Amino acid sequence: MPRFSAGLAELVLIVRDVPAAARFYREVVGLEPETEANDAWAWFWAGEPGAHQRVALHRGSLLFEEHSPHPPESRWGHVHFAFEVPRERLDAAVAHVRDHGGEVHGPTQFDWMGATAYYFYDLDGNLVELWSPDPA
């Protein structure tokens, strides 16, 4: 089977309030903005700045959404996604979320993949995971 992708390029989250969601992802999650947020869009780097992995926040419909086979109120739902955090920074990342009022669940130890994870929800009900591989 041919491999069509080399990695994640972007993830777009549909949100109710882009500026509020942008503050959350900047201040709580710690993502670096690629652009200044406006009422419709905010873009963040999800890895090294300039390295193509991005998270976007958007209010409204998306390109090609009108072609969805689902009714308008069911085209988008809650999402789960994970950010990789080096083990030496995991405790600080979890404490940072808690210090900003986030209810953090975990740790969950995944022996089968050698990793530890913590979970919390963003302002729009998306489940965010801080995932950290076990040290070698």
Q: What is the pTM of this model?
A: 0.81
91 and 52 belong to one structural domain:
no
Q: Is residue 66 part of a domain?
A: no
Range of the domain at 25: 1-60
In a domain, 67, yes or no: no
Mean pLDDT by 10 residues, the chain (136 residues): 62 94 96 95 90 88 69 74 92 96 94 92 90 90
> Considering its fold, how many domains does the chain have in total?
2
Residue where one domain finishes, among candidates 16, 32, 60: 60
> Are 83 and 29 in contact, with CB atoms under 8 Å apart?
yes
pLDDT of residue 28: 96
How far is residue 107's CA from residue 110's CA, in Å, rounded to a whole number? 10
Q: In what helix (H) or strand (E) does residue 99 lie, and over which residues does it extend?
A: helix 87-99
Among 100, 101, 103, 107, residue whose Cα is nearest residue 85: 107
The residue among 29, 60, 91 that closes a domain is: 60
- Whether residues 13 and 55 share a domain: the answer is yes
90 and 55 in a common domain: no
